[in-house]
Chain A
Amino acid sequence: MTDDPTTALRATRLGRRFRGGWALRDCDFALPAGRITALVGPNGAGKSTLFHLATGLLRPTSGDLRVFGAEPGSPAARDRTAFLAQDKPLYPRFTVDDTLRFGRELNGDWDHASAERIVRAGNIPLDARVGALSQGQTTRVALALAFGKRPDLLLLDEPLADLDPLVRIEAMGLVMAEVADRGTTVVMSSHVLSELENACDHVLLLGRGAVRLDGDAQRLCDTHVRITGLADPATDDGLPPDVDRATVVEAAVTGRQVHALLRHSDWSPGDPWIVENPSLEDLLLAYLRSDHPAEAAA
């Protein structure tokens, strides 16, 4: 295993099986360091499983996962990783002050001043009980706890779920500020694709436990094309017969119109086609839809 400093998280034939079957299987990817990766996929695609594997809370059934070259859960990996689980668990009976002290006592390298600054910036009293905080305040305290660790890799599982729009921007702003300050690598899962679009510059799309898309966000947008035109009545999908079907991510016929997302190929649409580059959200939605062929057909 090469210890490549530019790779924060590397999976090699990574698999994890539960009683119900494989949550992840044969996954290969390398998430770049210093970037903000969007981890996308439908429910049950294996996103949370991947986070738990990356933090050592789960062990892989097969294959291997490395955090900056170290085994997840090892002291070296734990020191560099901070994880915000989906339900943002904190001790409800602790005060905010206790919660920050928890971070200080359990971590060798702990930046108490900046953790406290994040809490104070949210006007959260240090003597407040965590259980009495609003969801937005809880998120802020949880992020303060994560940032106080000075992580090199920040893993955020649905950090924006259940937050109102203002708090979403606030929480995301905190994460982005941390990235701007320290160049932290972030892997973040979310269902709010439009917010990922502005924040993330790398994409890892999971579907049914497998990697469906892994790459630089801009590059993915540049190498896909959204086309709209007159449907070809001779083909099932309405696309001209000379289109390489392996490049079709999705195609939908509505009346005489066909609307499709393609990967680049030698085929180039002619004049009557409306051709656009997809937005990241559009691209991800197309891949997410094509993961559910039954629903797309309905």
Chain B
Amino acid sequence: MKGTLWLAWRQQRALILTGAAVLLAVTAWVVVMRTDMTGFISSHHIDTAGCKGWDGGCESEATLKLLDDNNGPLRALGSLSTALPVLIGIFWGAPLLGRELESGTWKLALTQGVGIGRWFTTRFALATASTVLGSAVLAALVAWWWSPVSNMLGGLYWHDGYIFNATGPAAVACALFGLAAGTAAGLLIRRTLPAMAAVLGAVVAVRFALNSFRSDWISPQLWISKGDAPRREIGSGWSTGEFGFVDAAGRKHAIPDACPWGEGLPDLKTCMAQKGFTGRYRTVYPSGDFWTFQWIETGIFVGLAAVLVAAICFVLKRRPLP
């Protein structure tokens, strides 16, 4: 390795090697766990593909054991993948410039033959490549392990945080955002420890906000069941929790208890007729919306990361650093 790339490698090699070792260990563990799982599925002849949704209708001792055995470890892997952007922000981003500024070594680095542009670009590029690679591997591991038992009975669903935040392009984009936020915090705060705290707060806050507002970005599907026919089953969809009655004009009445059921009360059909309801509805995001949500959040994370990188470049170009 030559020039600034050597310096970037020399300064980040401990992180890269540690990260690679952890990733290797996790991969080995996932391979073992998933092999066990698929072995169990085939030896018990479980039709996982035909068993999607809460009411998949395939409850058996074997399926319950399958989920029992895998839900916990999958949650653990999902948590690790979800936490990765924070970890990268804290241990990779914050010190990337923060430690140089804190210890004064930026004065050493920036008075050598290479310019500040190359110095920063190389180290940030190496950190970015490591971040993308590491988070992509982890996201792929989550998806690979989860897919046979996805959206199944009491297992993990695509819209659970353990899965949604831990896999797909959004997980990689979030890791990138964590790196950019850590780097920016280190540059602006100039001290590693407070920068670490700041990036922890920033990534958690953005994640929390996205999880809270996710359902606002696209409209759910409206599922109407006519008359007193039972509502359509949710399956592997994501219910918004909104349901109620529709009248002849097609207006929705989100009053689930408009026709309570019990002794001495009119039955559903009578009640609906009395109140002028012609059917029942619920709103649901079908499992295919996973990708829509993923690309929206990928866009948000990449956009935020781009803004932060632009801000970093602006500050570095303007100087003074201290």
Contacts and interface: CB of A to CB of B under 8 A. Distances in A.
B108 A89 contact: yes
A132 to B, nearest CB: 16
Interface in A101-130: 101-103, 105-109
A79 interface: yes
B3 interface: yes
A58 B111 CA distance: 12
A189 B247 CA distance: 87
B113 A85 contact: no
Chain A interface residue number, banded: 20 to 34
Given A91-B11, A103-B112, A107-B113, A57 B3 contact: no
B6 interface: yes
A101 B6 contact: yes
A83 B107 contact: yes
Contacts, number: 72
Contact of A75 (B104, B109, B115): B115
A87 B103 CA distance: 9
A79 B113 contact: yes
Nearest to B115: A75
A81 B319 contact: no
Contact of A57 (B11, B115, B320): B320
A11 B295 CA distance: 55
Nearest to B6: A105
Nearest to A83: B111
A82 interface: yes
Contacts of A149: 112-113
A52 B111 CA distance: 10
B320 A58 contact: yes
Given A90-B105, A91-B11, A106-B3, A57 B321 contact: yes
A59 interface: yes
Contacts of B310: none
Contacts of A138: none
A52 B108 CA distance: 11
Nearest to A157: B107
B315 to A, nearest CB: 13
Contact of A107 (B11, B105, B112, B115): B112
B10 interface: yes
Interface in B43-67: none
A55 interface: yes
Contacts of B6: 101, 105
Given A75-B115, A85-B107, A106-B109, A94 B10 contact: yes
A91 B105 contact: yes
A269 B103 CA distance: 55
A85 B319 contact: no
Given A89-B104, A98-B10, A105 B320 contact: no
A78 interface: yes
Contacts of A106: 3-4, 7, 109, 112-114
B4 to A, nearest CB: 7
A280 to B, nearest CB: 29
B251 interface: no
Contacts of B321: 57
B9 to A, nearest CB: 10
A83 B7 CA distance: 19
Nearest to B113: A107
Contacts of B7: 102, 105-106
Contacts of A103: 112
A105 B2 contact: yes
B110 interface: yes
B319 A59 contact: yes
30 contacts: A52-B107, A56-B110, A56-B319, A57-B107, A57-B111, A57-B320, A57-B321, A58-B319, A58-B320, A75-B115, A78-B111, A78-B112, A83-B107, A85-B108, A89-B103, A89-B105, A89-B108, A90-B105, A91-B11, A101-B6, A102-B112, A105-B6, A105-B7, A106-B3, A106-B4, A106-B112, A106-B113, A107-B112, A108-B113, A145-B108
Closest 3 CB pairs of A and B: A89-B104, A106-B112, A107-B113
Given A56-B319, A75-B115, A89-B104, 11 more contacts: A56-B111, A57-B320, A59-B319, A78-B112, A79-B113, A87-B104, A89-B105, A91-B105, A94-B10, A98-B10, A107-B114
